[in-house]
Amino acid sequence: MKTMKLKGIGKDLLGMALLFLFLLLFLFNDSLNNSEMLNNIPSALINVNTIFLSIVLEAIPFILLGVFISSLIQIYVSEETLQRFIPKNAIAALIPAALLGAILPLCECAIVPVVRRLIKKGMPLHIGVVFLVAAPILNPIVFASTYFAFKDPFSQTNTVLYSRMGLAFVLSIIIGAIFYAVFKNNSQQLRGNVPVHHDHSHQYEEKKPTIFSRIRDAFYHAVDEFFMMGKYLIIGAFIAALFQTFLNRDVLQSIGTNDYSSTMVMMGFAYLLSLCSEADAFVASSFRSSFSEMSLVAFLVYGPMLDLKNTFMLFALFKSRFVLVFIVTVTIVVFAAIAILYGIIL
């Protein structure tokens, strides 16, 4: 008993020390910033840190948004309601899912916890996959930023914009259908073997929960999910920052010499950079002089569906086999679609 008590005090002190450290750093932030020693750190390291923090600080509000929506779903949407809204026919449900993805203004960080929660609530896996790939591209903000970035004063049609949006819509349905075929009989792909049905029956037990306790629960769920996903975001952001700092972009041009190899290069590049789908159009447009439109569209379609930072988050939430199938399917489908669109149709 006594050791446990001591342990408890030790833990309290540990937390106190951490909080104290944060407060101290907060107060002396300015003098640290100006200190000689720290300013002599190699500038490459500081560049990595700048990009790393920048990605983390930018992604965090969107992850929080995602986990809040997820915990609202958790508390207010029952499995029964969800079942009623999903068409019985698995294939027929794909199109409304892609359309719904277009309405949800969520980027690729925020969509992950939302999809996980919906699947947990009993939404079919392949519908979740449609959301996962459609929502980050088919959304008003991405539409607007792509529109500006590829606005061309000397031509009236914005082919990049329409190719990007059209492909996202069609491919999300195709990818959803493939997932339906592959995981039809094995749709338990979330990590942690939670039987779907006895998940949250407590909502209907005994006393009805008060509004206060509902809000409290929403907060608790939000924190838990943030800590579950946040670590993967941070690792992903760090690796992406390394690539951002040390990858020389001239190298890309020397690898991607023809249309198809440059498409592959830009897809790989989109994966490594882990940009937010709301800003990637501007990065893509800076490559216009040296890369073909085909490879830029590949960059814009593939990046939001799948990137380094997202892969880490997916591994946190889904079984490895699912994530691997996801990576392979998305990669092949996007590449094939781009090749067909630009090789044959346009």
Partner 1 sequence: MKSYDHSFHAYIQGIILIGFALLMLGLVLSGNIGYYIAPQMMPFVYFGMMTFFLLGVVQIFRSTAKKNNQEEHQCGDHCDHDHQIKGPVWVKVLVYSIFILPVLSGFILPDRMLNSDLAGNRGIQFGSGLDLAQAAPEGADSPDGGEAPLSRAEAYLEDPEGYMDDLLNKSNESTGEDDEHYQIEDFYDQEWFDDFYLEFADELEQEEIITVTEANYLDVMTVLDLYLDRFVGKELEIIGFVYREADFEDHEIVAARFSMTCCTADAGVYGTLIESEEATEFENDMWIYARGVIKKGQYHDYQIPIITDSYLVEVEEPDSPYVYPSFNW
Contact 68, 230 (CB under 8 A): no
The contact mask relative to partner 1 for 43-72 (x = CB under 8 A, - = no) is: xxxxx-xxxxxxxxxx-xxx-xx-------
Contact between 151 and partner 1 by CB under 8 A: the answer reads yes
For the bound state, the minimum distance from the C-beta of residue 229 to partner 1, rounded and expressed in Å, comes to: 10
Q: Within positions 242 to 301, which residues make up the interface with partner 1, using CB under 8 A? A: 244-250, 273-276, 278-280, 282-283, 285-286, 288-289
Contact 150, 158 (CB under 8 A): yes
Question: Cβ neighbours of residue 230 under 8 Å, at least 6 residues apart?
Answer: 60, 63
For the bound state, the minimum distance from the C-beta of residue 309 to partner 1, rounded and expressed in Å, comes to: 10
Contact between 29 and partner 1 by CB under 8 A: the answer reads yes
Q: Angle at CA 308, nearest 5°, toward 302 and 312? A: 125
Contact 270, 280 (CB under 8 A): yes
Question: Cβ neighbours of residue 265 under 8 Å, at least 6 residues apart?
Answer: 252, 255, 256, 295
Contact between 320 and partner 1 by CB under 8 A: the answer reads no
Binder of partner 1 out of 94, 113, 124, 143 (CB under 8 A): 143
Question: Cβ neighbours of residue 267 under 8 Å, at least 6 residues apart?
Answer: 298, 299, 302, 331, 334, 335
For the bound state, the minimum distance from the C-beta of residue 91 to partner 1, rounded and expressed in Å, comes to: 28
Q: Within positions 181 to 200, which residues make up the interface with partner 1, using CB under 8 A? A: 191-192, 194, 198-200
Provide the residue type at 327 as one letter: I
For the bound state, the minimum distance from the C-beta of residue 336 to partner 1, rounded and expressed in Å, comes to: 26
- Shorter beta-carbon distance to partner 1: residue 56 or 174: 56
Q: How many residues bind partner 1 (CB under 8 A)?
A: 102
Contact between 308 and partner 1 by CB under 8 A: the answer reads no
Rg of the chain over all Cα atoms, to the nearest angstrom = 23
For the bound state, the minimum distance from the C-beta of residue 77 to partner 1, rounded and expressed in Å, comes to: 16
Contact between 25 and partner 1 by CB under 8 A: the answer reads yes
Contact between 167 and partner 1 by CB under 8 A: the answer reads no
Binder of partner 1 out of 83, 188, 201, 257 (CB under 8 A): 201
- Shorter beta-carbon distance to partner 1: residue 62 or 342: 62
Dist. CA 151–CA 124, nearest whole Å:
39
Burial 236-273 (b: 16+ CB within 10 A, else e): bbbebbebbbeeeeeebeeebeebbebbbbbbbbbbbb
Candidate segments 14-22, 171-179, 181-189, 332-340, binder of partner 1 by CB under 8 A: 14-22
Contact 179, 129 (CB under 8 A): yes
For the bound state, the minimum distance from the C-beta of residue 261 to partner 1, rounded and expressed in Å, comes to: 19
Q: Within positions 79 to 138, which residues make up the interface with partner 1, using CB under 8 A? A: 120
DSSP sequence for 288-338:
TTTS-HHHHHHHHHHHHHS-HHHHHHHHHHB-HHHHHHHHHHHHHHHHHHH
For the bound state, the minimum distance from the C-beta of residue 87 to partner 1, rounded and expressed in Å, comes to: 25
Candidate segments 20-28, 130-138, 178-186, 333-341, binder of partner 1 by CB under 8 A: 20-28
Binder of partner 1 out of 18, 181, 324, 328 (CB under 8 A): 18
